[in-house]
Amino acid sequence: DYISSRQLGVPPRQLPVETISKEVETTSKEVETTSQKVETTSKEVETTSKEVETTSQEVEATSQEVETTSKEVETTFQEVETTSKEVKTTSKETMGVTWPGLPGLLGL
């Protein structure tokens, strides 16, 4: 069709091939952009889930710290109790001692 019309001197029919290919190119660019957006979103979701994981690990660490602290408090309380028992024992021992011997017992 193109050759025959040229030979006849009739201007050939212009097909909008270039326009179509530009549209296809634009569409493929849009598809690429969309897929990049999807990728970005999935990365954001991944980041969020990592943040959630990190937070839960931090919460776990904090609860372990709280547990450790309560154990330390318990230990300290036991130490205080032991010390008070020692004080009681010492006071019982000193009760039987007469005053003249007390300064020597206390190291005075």
Residue 25 pLDDT > 60: yes
Instruction: Give mean pLDDT, residues 37-51.
Output: 81
Instruction: Answer whether 47's CB lies under 8 Å from 39's CB.
Output: no
Greater confidence (13 vs 41) lies with 41
DSSP H helices, the chain, are 2-7, 17-95, 102-105
Distance CA 91, CA 85 (A): 10
Q: Which tens digit of pLDDT belongs to each residue from 78-102?
A: 877 777 777 777 666 655 555 555 5
Distance CA 59, CA 70 (A): 16
Greater confidence (101 vs 46) lies with 46
Q: Where are the domains of the chain?
A: 2-81
Instruction: Answer whether 2's CB lies under 8 Å from 12's CB.
Output: yes
Q: What is the pLDDT, as a whole number, of residue 77?
A: 78
Closest CA to 107 of 83, 89, 90: 90
Distance CA 58, CA 39 (A): 28
